[in-house]
Amino acid sequence: MSDRRNDSLQSAASILTSFSSEHSAELYEGVIKPATESIEKSDTSLQDLVDAAEKIIKEKFTPDPRSTYAYTKGRKKTSVQLDQIMIAMLACAEECGGEKGKRYVASAVIACSQEEDVVGALEALGTTWLTHFLFVFKTGRGHSSQPRDEPSEVLVRDGYKCVLTGSQHITHPNIDANILVVDLEVAHILRRAIGEFNPDHKSKSFKSAATTFDILVNFTHLPVETLEDLRGQLDDASNGMALQHDAHYGFDNFRWCLKRTETEHVYELKIFNDVGILKKPANNRVSFEDHSNQFPLDYTDKERSPVKLPDPCFIAIHAAIAGILHMSGAGKFFDELLDDYRDDEGKIPAVRSWSELEALMGEQLMREAIIQGFQSVDVY
């Protein structure tokens, strides 16, 4: 029995080791990032950088098996193409980070080409973007239905109506009998999990969060200096909007997003998967305005203080991430991966980072290996 159980444990450990992204993140921080910064500051035009990056991906990375990031559990294999993630990052960067965001992505790819092991560096970069950037937008920990401070503030600003469908909240002061009444929720545009981290600077969670923050700032050019600054903004009214449950679920899962138009605070609805979207807005447009003064604080008709509208930068980031997840197949990869670790109630793992997911994987693999080892004991 001992030999069989040891074999099972070793097999579980090897699967976990092949899945670890820690080495990739270390290579990104220590080698790729400094080289990227140097290339970004060069006089090379953006178009030349993009052309060079696309050529490197196509000729060096795509043909190599290491461009496939795979996870195997039992007989089930889930994979995603890291080269497609890079291509999608290049395609979507400008939407939220402008030319600087696109320059960062192209420069990072070119930085990898300067290494002796070009494909190894590209693999590390793609893995880091997958596990330390895109993943945090899909994990559920730290996400709640509404910001903590003044939970009704966003509902009042949005006129007690779902910004997508127009349905009324059950507490609307003047309910229209011709409009559907539902329980509305206040959705975070950017999930709170992005700003959740272990304050211990030596912990894997903090180091992972620091890498995530670095990529986020470079890709989006958010005007924040520290992780703490970012976390403080995620519970602000500017990061929330009123949605009914089905629309909220779809938004969180990147089934739809809002695309910027030429008119400020007016967005076009982009649907990737219309399952659960019960009603589309007129002209396929969603407009934000502050309705708070239509609902006085008390019978003295005292006006409310203005409530900030959704930040266009946050909406653009959500749209860019949605585009990357769908274009690259990373969204499907994460969904299939997380499905394997749902609890008895069907909830996805409560993890803040990829390192925490790896720890969860390790615990489950070891537990299954031990059970398998004991089940293989011969009974006389």
Asked whether residue 44 carries a pLDDT value surpassing 80, the answer given is: yes
State how far the Cα of 56 lies from the Cα of 51, in Å rounded to an integer. Answer: 9
Q: Say if residues 354 and 208 touch (Cβ distance below 8 Å).
A: yes
Asked whether residue 373 carries a pLDDT value surpassing 80, the answer given is: no
DSSP state of 161: B
Which whole number is the average pLDDT over 350-366? Answer: 69
Residue 363: pLDDT band (50, 70, 90) is low
As for how many domains the chain has, the answer is 1
Residue 326: pLDDT band (50, 70, 90) is very high
What percent of the chain lies above the pLDDT cut of 70? 82
User: Does residue 344 fall inside a structural domain?
Assistant: yes
Which one, of 133, 142, 129, lies nearest residue 352 by Cα?
Answer: 142
The domain in which residue 162 lies consists of: 2-375
Average pLDDT of the chain is 85
Q: Is 197 exposed, middle or buried (0-12, 13-18, 19+ CB in 10 A)?
A: buried
Task: State the distance between the two ends of the chain, measured CA to CA, in whole angstroms.
Answer: 13
User: Does residue 234 fall inside a structural domain?
Assistant: yes
Give the model confidence (pLDDT) of 212-251 as tens digits: 999 999 999 888 877 778 888 898 999 999 999 999 999 9
Asked whether residue 343 carries a pLDDT value surpassing 80, the answer given is: no
Q: What is the DSSP string of 307-374?
A: -PPPPHHHHHHHHHHHHHHHHHSHHHHHHHHHHTT--TTSPPP--SSHHHHHHHHHHHHHHHHHHHHH
Q: What is the DSSP string of 40-55?
A: HTSS--HHHHHHHHHH
C-alpha distances in angstroms, 380 versus 370, 377? Answer: 20, 10
Pairing relationship of beta strands 285-287 and 266-271 according to DSSP bridges: antiparallel
pLDDT at residue 15 in the model: 44
State how far the Cα of 345 lies from the Cα of 30, in Å rounded to an integer. Answer: 41
User: Does residue 103 fall inside a structural domain?
Assistant: yes
Q: Which of 90-99, 140-149, 296-305, 315-324 has the lowest mean pLDDT?
A: 140-149
User: Does residue 380 fall inside a structural domain?
Assistant: no
Q: Which of 159-173, 223-237, 314-328 has the lowest mean pLDDT?
A: 223-237
pLDDT at residue 76 in the model: 78
State how far the Cα of 143 lies from the Cα of 225, in Å rounded to an integer. Answer: 22
pLDDT at residue 356 in the model: 74
User: Does residue 114 fall inside a structural domain?
Assistant: yes
Exposure string over 268-300, b if 16+ CB within 10 A, otherwise e: ebeebeeeebeeebeeeebebebbbeebeeeee
Give the model confidence (pLDDT) of 243-265 as tens digits: 999 999 999 999 999 999 999 99
Q: What is the DSSP string of 32-96?
A: IHHHHHHHHTSS--HHHHHHHHHHHIIIIITTSGGGEEEEEETTEEEEEEHHHHHHHHHHHHHHH
Asked whether residue 187 carries a pLDDT value surpassing 80, the answer given is: yes
Q: Say if residues 368 and 74 touch (Cβ distance below 8 Å).
A: no
Q: Which of 74-83, 271-280, 324-333 has the lowest mean pLDDT?
A: 271-280
Output the 3-class SS for 183-226: CEEEEECCCHHHHCCCCCCCCHHHHHHHHHHHHHHHHHCCCCCC
Residue 165: pLDDT band (50, 70, 90) is very high
Helix, coil or strand: residue 168: strand
Exposure string over 100-123, b if 16+ CB within 10 A, otherwise e: ebbbbbbbbbbbbbebeeebebbb
State how far the Cα of 160 lies from the Cα of 181, in Å rounded to an integer. Answer: 10
Helix-strand-coil percent breakdown of the chain, rounded to 5? Answer: 55, 10, 35
Asked whether residue 286 carries a pLDDT value surpassing 80, the answer given is: yes
Asked whether residue 94 carries a pLDDT value surpassing 60, the answer given is: yes
In this prediction the pTM is: 0.87
